[in-house]
Amino acid sequence: MQVTDRTDIHPEKDIMRITLRSFARFREIFGGEEQTIETTSAATPKTVLSALCEEKGCKDTLFAADGTFHPHITVILNGRRLSAEEIEETSLADNDALVVYPPVSGG
């Protein structure tokens, strides 16, 4: 597993760890199927994924030009699918599990 230190965001906040699982092309983009990410207690799924995309150069893959999350991407937090609004507003907690799926196509 890879640990990404995000303490540079708000060093005065408490640090927590979340697990990010990604599938298909996101596995290649993010550098593996599962990784542990260190972040601040103020993090949301959007802030974590945005920071990771900044680092990996994949912002266009998850976010539209206006900064909103692409609706065809599936984000699951602790086994529950999140709406676009929840991706932006849900506070993460220590040991949360975040899963990102690319769009599904085919028949």
Q: What is the CATH number of the domain that holds 83?
A: 3.10.20.30
Other beta carbons within 10 angstroms of residue 78's beta carbon come to 13
Q: Determine, yes or no, domain membership for 72.
A: yes
Whether residue 9 is predicted with pLDDT greater than 50 in this model: the reply is no
Q: How far is CA 49 from CA 4, 105, 106, 107, in A?
A: 12, 23, 26, 29
Is residue 107 one of the residues assigned to a domain?
no
Structural domains in the chain (count): 1
What does the alpha-carbon distance between residue 3 and residue 36 come to, in Å, rounded to a whole number? Answer: 5
- Residues 27-67 pLDDT 10s: 888 888 899 999 888 899 999 999 988 888 888 888 888 88
Domain for residue 106, yes or no? no
Q: Which domain holds residue 51?
A: 3-101
More confident residue, 71 or 86: 86
Pairing mode, strands 15-22 and 34-40? antiparallel
